[in-house]
Every structure is written in structure tokens, then in C-alpha cells.
Chains A and B, each alone.
Chain A
Amino acid sequence: MTATQRPTVAKATPARQASRPNALSLRIPEPRARPGEMLDFGNLRLSRGSAVERPAIDVQAHEIRDLAYGLIRVLDDDGQAVGPWAPALDTQSLRDGLRWMMLTRAYDERMYRAQRQGKTSFYMKCAGEEAVAVAQALALAPDDMCFPTYRQQGLLIARGYPLVEMMNQVLSNALDPLKGRQLPVLYSSRDYGVFTISGNLGTQFIQAVGWAMASAYKHDRRIAAAWIGDGSTAEGDFHHALTFASVYRAPVVLNVVNNQWAISSFHGIAGGGDSPFASRAIGYGLPALRVDGNDFLAVHAATAWAVERARANLGATLIEHVTYRAEGHSTSDDPSQYRPAGEAAGWPLGDPVARLSAHLVAIGEWSADRHEALRKELLETVRAAGKEAEAVGTLSTGSRPSVRTMFEDVYKDAPWHIREQRQQLGV
């Protein structure tokens, strides 16, 4: 079946239309392909790397509106870095970036299996989106404050947060730094500059603006960065963030990770069909960059531009990262039920790990053998960390923090009713 032979779903009822020729009809957006249909990426709005200019950081937002509709790319099909956005990253940084992306992927694969083995309740991978978090961690200063969603685990990994700590959280074991209170993957690490991740989508976006306002108020040098998915841009928090960031010129980098899918809803349900998410910034007077999110160099370059601008007290930038969620939303859904098989493999912007690896090979700094050796090394790293964490315990072994801790931290000091309820439970 081709895209043009699709069954007529979500169309106005023909009989009704025929009887009322000028009647209104309701549009319910649908993706270009559903399971069993031909892949169709015809609405992606791609551009060539050299086609998008890199403006000065003190440009006025209205002068660069085109960037919201173009696509910043650096890596070409031959793995060469081309165009005005090609960053001056040394090869060690590139190799670090590749390592962290591959480590993130290896970590995800192990924890996904751990969930399938019943060692925890839930897991979420970021397969295909590793460049976003890892390249951005590299472009931000280590003490800049991150307000991520649940799919930027690469931030923690790139900042050197111990894998075992992450695993302890996912397994809700006795050493879980969050004491068994949070769903797996909703990490928090003040020491590593990662804000407590919320399961209520979008809330972090405006909070990051508040953190950035506080930093500006205190004449600090640190900036904030926030992430949100394409689906959650429909939440009020997204629009609050753009309003407040614009009004108070907050030093914050606002990222939309457009991975095309919000569970089973394609990006068009969030309003991404008629105008790119980056273009939302235009109405708020903020600069917008739309970037190839699977191009490590492009993500780094766009982020570095926004970081430099924020640190120069020039305010916020909205960056849309065009990427693809290569696997399910979480361990709780089966993407083959709502999108065509092979859509991930056919994604026109490729795979971020493969593309950065190919670039390093193209510039003579990498090889297939070294890549395979690194893959095996990271597999072993993750395996060792997994053994260590599982030795502490898993959700299924019942090795949890003391039940008494369930009643702690509701308030700074437990009021009478919390103390009383703890006694009722007998802990």
C-alpha cells in the first residue's frame, strides 16, 4: 500500500458533505504513515549544511527568523564537517562525545533488559537521541543548571555521574539516592547540576527560567538549560517559559526535542505540522534555531551559540532538535502498534552515533576497529556497574531503603500527623 492509498479515516462524512456542500469540516491531523503503510518523510523541511548562516550572537531575534524554518546541519553525507556552523571542536572532545553517546546507549540497553527481567518496574531509552544531551553537556559549563525531561540521561553520563548511582535509582534499591520515591529514570543530582526530573510533563521548562532569573538577579555567571518534548510544547508551561524568558531576558537555553512521537501521537497533534516548533519563539521575540538533532556537531554548534548569547546577558534562545525516537516511549508501549515498521531505520537524518563515528573516520581520527573495541569496553563498563548495583539489590529482591524513610522529607521537620502515621505503620 502506498501513502496515497490510505484508508479514509478522519475525513468528513461524505454523505453529510454532499448534502451540505459549504459545510465546515473538522481536521484531525494524522501522520503521513501508520503501521502497514509506506514510510513518508516528505514534510521534514531539510536543508543543506552550508545553506544556513551563523549570525553573530548579538543579532536581533527578528533578523534571523529564517533559522526557525531552516535546519542547521554540519555533517554531510561523507562525514565531513561543512558550512558556517562547523564547530572548532578538538578531536579529543569529539571522541569524548562519541564515548558518552555510546555509553548512554549501552547503559540504556542494559537497563531496558533489567526491566524485562523483572528487576524494576519501568524504563525509558533515549536511543537515537543521544546527540542532544551529550553534545549539549559538552557545550554547557559543568556548573550550568540543567532541567531535563526523562530522555536526557546523556547529560548525567556526560557529566560523569556514576553509572552505579543511576542504576541504584532505576532499581530502587537500598542505595537509591532518591530513597525509592521516584519512578525509575526520574533522576536528580544537585551536585551534577541536574534538577529533579518530573513525571508531569513540561513543568521544568518554566522552572529553568526561574532559576536563570535568580542567577541573573544574583549577578552569577551560570546559566540554565531546559528540555521539553515536541508533544509537551502544547502545555502551558512551555508558553509561560517563553513569555517569562522574553520579558525578563533570562539567561537560559530552551530546547525542544522533536523526536516526532509523543507516545503514539505524532508531532502534528502538538501543532508541529503547520509550523516548526522552533517558530514558536518568533512571536515571543526570542531567537530560534532549528537543528539536525542527530548531527552531534550541529547540536553542539547551535547550543554553543545559545550558551554564549545567554552568558553575554543577551537572553534566551529556543532550539528545536529534529531527531527521532528510535524505540518505544517506554517499556510500557509497543511502537509497532502505531507507526510503520522501519521508520527508525529509514529516518533521513540517520543515527547520531554512526554519524559522529563516520566523521571521526573521515578525518582520520577513528576506525571501525577502534569503534568496535570501544563498544566492547563500554559494554564491560556497564556490565560491571550493573553487577555492582544489582548486588545491592533490585526492586524485585526487596532490598530497599528503610521503610521509615518513606515519611521523611515531606516537610523539613515532620509535623505531628506524619509522626503519628509513621507510628501507625510501626516503623
Chain B
Amino acid sequence: MMATMNMIQALNSAMDVMLARDPDVLVFGEDVGFFGGVFRATEGLQKKHGLERCFDTPIAEGGLIGVAVGMGAYGLRPVVEIQFADYIYPAYDQIVSEVARLRYRSAGQFTAPMTIRAPYGGGIFGGQTHSQSPEALFTHVAGLKVVIPSNPHDAKGLLISAIEDDDPVIFLEPKRIYNGPFDGHHDRPISPWAKHPASAVPEDYYTVAIGEAAILRAGEQVTILAYGTMVHVVLAAVEESGLDAEVLDLRTIWPVDIDAIVASVRKTGRCVIVHEATRTSGFGAELTALIQERCFYHLEAPIERVAGWDTPYPHAFEWEYFPGPDRVAAALRRTVDAHG
């Protein structure tokens, strides 16, 4: 059975399905129990599955990730929510030194098959503590997988894959598009997910494979790599610029779908990378390096990055900071027009 879902409903459905299928799945985090989470992603799960399956934790991110490590060592599959990705830093030692390395350092005796969900990204006037995009802090860590969906269908399928994965997964949710796709035109009316084909979501179990990008638009002139909210900004920019761009939604940013990227860039010879995160040492830097290593002799223009500025995320300058469709379109134009 298919249903029309927004991202929140799709994520909720993924956890609902997995709580029902696997008694070793637990869902916990700050405010996720009775209240159902500040973004309502866990709404109704405690009532349906029981107090001990979906519960509140103290406000101690390092504590709840540490607890999840112990539960993983016991054999459970914790799904933990960090209320905002901006709050994940107190857990960074547990994630980097423990979660990511348990399998390696114990030679496979102990593993931490957990999913760490965290709303991330800007566009909501959240200021610097509710808008960050810290994905590169996790792609840099050996042993982690990093997944970022861009629509309800992928969100549910990827979250189920993450929960079933035997390795730890950082699952970053672009909160700006929880309720509807956002193309960066903040001055226009908001479109709900119901009008988007990706809001058609199976009510039952299904998966979207981790590690596979999606080609959202085939094109010949330039390849665009994006993920999360930026996918929708990019699609708008392509439409408005009238260029024949190929748009890849990476979906899993690590391990990234290198074959899809290489095939596309070798075809178009040009590439623009778009992310909300700050530019310097952002994930775009890694993508740029990977592409020049593999596609250098196919490139006809410098690889461009469109990213958040290297400042903290400012409250009052949301739209000057946020890489909107105009900035993306300008980068596309420069890249397509470039001639060696």
C-alpha cells in the first residue's frame, strides 16, 4: 500500500516498521518519547510500541551515544536522535573514538550497529546553533557511513537500510525540507510534499541501498553534485538557467557512489558541487579531489564549489548565507562558459 507522506511521516514510518520487525531496535533521545520529538519524527511510537522501546534521555549527547555503544555491544540496534546536528559535538569523542572504531579495534569482537539521526542544515532562521551542516566532520572518520536523504521516499528506505546496517550510520536529515521541498526561493509560497512524486511512500518495509546516488536529471552540459535540501535548490537553478545539466543526488555521502560521479563527469566534462556546509575542508573539497584524480583529462573547466561561507551561520543573514538558486545558477553559467 502506498501513502502520501512528508519527510517526517516517512521517517516515522521507517522507525515504526523496524520497531515492529525487530525487538532489538530501540529508539531514544531527548524529547522523543511521550512528546514524539521536537520535529515529531517519533510521534506515536512510544504509545504504539511501549515505553521501553521509545524513550526520553537526559540532555547528554555524549551519554546517550555512550549508552548506545553499550547496547550495540550487547546486541541491540539503537536508533538515537540528536535533537539538532548542532548538538552532536558533546558526543564527538564517543562517535569518533568508540562508535567508529569498535569493530576495528576489537578485531570484530564488538560492533556498534547504531543509527544516529540528526536534523541538520539551514533555511529555518535557526541561527548558528540550529542550522549547521557538520557532515564533513563524520566523512573524515574511518568507520562511519554518512547518509543524507532529500525526499520522503528515500528517507524511509535509507533509514531502514541504516537501521539494518551492521556498521554505524550518521543519518542527517535536512530539516528545511521535512514538510516540503524547498528550492531556495524563500520569498515564494511553500510547496507541500503532497505535490511531489517522491511523497508516494510504501507503508510497509522497503529499502533504498546505502552507497547509491540517484540521477535526478540527465544532462550533457555539466554535472551537479548535491545532497539534502540543496538538491531542490539545484533543480530550480537548472530549470531557471535553461542549461542541460545532469543532477546527481548523492543520498549517501560516505561511502560515496564514486562510479556514478565519474561516469557523469566524464560525460559532461564539467562539474559543480553544492552544499550548505562551510566551504573550507567541506565535503566538496573531497569530491573535488576525487574527481580530479579520476576525471582530470575529461575536465573542460575548473570544478566549482557553491557552499556556505566560512563564517558561523548568522541569524539575520539567512539568505545571504544560504547558497540559493542564484548563486548556483551563476556557478553553472561560469562553468559552462569556461574555455581553456
Chain A nearest CB, measured from B340 CB (Å): 29
User: B71 on the interface (CB 8 Å rule)?
Assistant: yes
A residues contacting B by CB (< 8 A) are 145, 147, 177-179, 181-182, 186, 188-190, 195-196, 198, 200, 203, 205-215, 217-218, 224, 236-237, 240-241, 243-244, 247, 409-412, 415-417
Could you list some 22 contacts between A and B, CB below 8 A? A181-B105, A182-B105, A186-B105, A188-B107, A190-B110, A196-B102, A203-B93, A205-B66, A206-B67, A206-B70, A210-B66, A213-B71, A217-B76, A236-B63, A237-B63, A243-B58, A244-B63, A411-B103, A412-B166, A412-B167, A415-B211, A416-B258
Are B69 and A210 in contact (CB-based, < 8 A)?
yes
Given contacts A186-B105, A190-B109, contact A211 B93 (CB under 8 A): no
B residues contacting A by CB (< 8 A) are 26, 52, 57-58, 60, 62-64, 66-76, 90, 93-94, 97-98, 102-111, 142-143, 145, 166-167, 211, 255, 258
Residues of A within 8 A of B71 (CB): 210-211, 213-214
Residues of A within 8 A of B72 (CB): 210
Known: A207-B70, A244-B58, A415-B211. 10 other contacts (CB 8 A): A145-B74, A179-B107, A203-B97, A206-B62, A206-B66, A206-B94, A208-B70, A224-B70, A243-B60, A409-B104
Residues of B within 8 A of A182 (CB): 105
Residues of B within 8 A of A224 (CB): 70
Chain B nearest CB, measured from A161 CB (Å): 13
Given contacts A203-B94, A244-B67, A415-B255, contact A217 B52 (CB under 8 A): yes
Are A207 and B98 in contact (CB-based, < 8 A)?
yes
**Which of B73, B75, B143 counts the most chain A CB atoms within 10 A?**
B73
Residues of B within 8 A of A217 (CB): 26, 52, 76
Residues of A within 8 A of B108 (CB): 409
Say which residue of B73, B93, B104 sits within 8 Å of A200 (CB atoms): B93
Are B73 and A236 in contact (CB-based, < 8 A)?
no
Given contacts A182-B105, A211-B73, contact A198 B66 (CB under 8 A): no
**Which of B62, B97, B106, B145 counts the most chain A CB atoms within 10 A?**
B106
Are B76 and A214 in contact (CB-based, < 8 A)?
yes
Given contacts A207-B69, A237-B66, A240-B66, contact A198 B97 (CB under 8 A): yes
Q: Please list the 6 inter-chain residue pairs (A to B) with the smallest Cβ-Cβ separation, ordered nearest first.
A: A210-B70, A240-B63, A206-B66, A210-B67, A214-B74, A415-B255
Residues of B within 8 A of A417 (CB): 255, 258
Given contacts A217-B76, A244-B58, contact A409 B103 (CB under 8 A): yes
Are B255 and A410 in contact (CB-based, < 8 A)?
no
Residues of A within 8 A of B145 (CB): 411
Residues of A within 8 A of B58 (CB): 240, 243-244, 247
Are B109 and A189 in contact (CB-based, < 8 A)?
yes
Are A240 and B26 in contact (CB-based, < 8 A)?
no
Residues of B within 8 A of A410 (CB): 103-104, 142-143
Residues of B within 8 A of A177 (CB): 107
Chain B nearest CB, measured from A195 CB (Å): 6
Residues of B within 8 A of A236 (CB): 60, 62-63, 90
The CA-CA distance from A300 to B316 in the complex, in Å, is 62
Say which residue of B94, B110, B211, B258 sits within 8 Å of A196 (CB atoms): B110
Q: Tell me the nearest residue of chain B to A226, going by C-beta.
A: B70
The CA-CA distance from A318 to B76 in the complex, in Å, is 26
The CA-CA distance from A198 to B70 in the complex, in Å, is 13
The CA-CA distance from A205 to B62 in the complex, in Å, is 11
Are A181 and B68 in contact (CB-based, < 8 A)?
no
Residues of B within 8 A of A145 (CB): 73-74
The CA-CA distance from A147 to B52 in the complex, in Å, is 24
The CA-CA distance from A386 to B110 in the complex, in Å, is 27
Are A181 and B107 in contact (CB-based, < 8 A)?
yes
Residues of A within 8 A of B106 (CB): 178, 188, 190, 196
Residues of A within 8 A of B64 (CB): 244
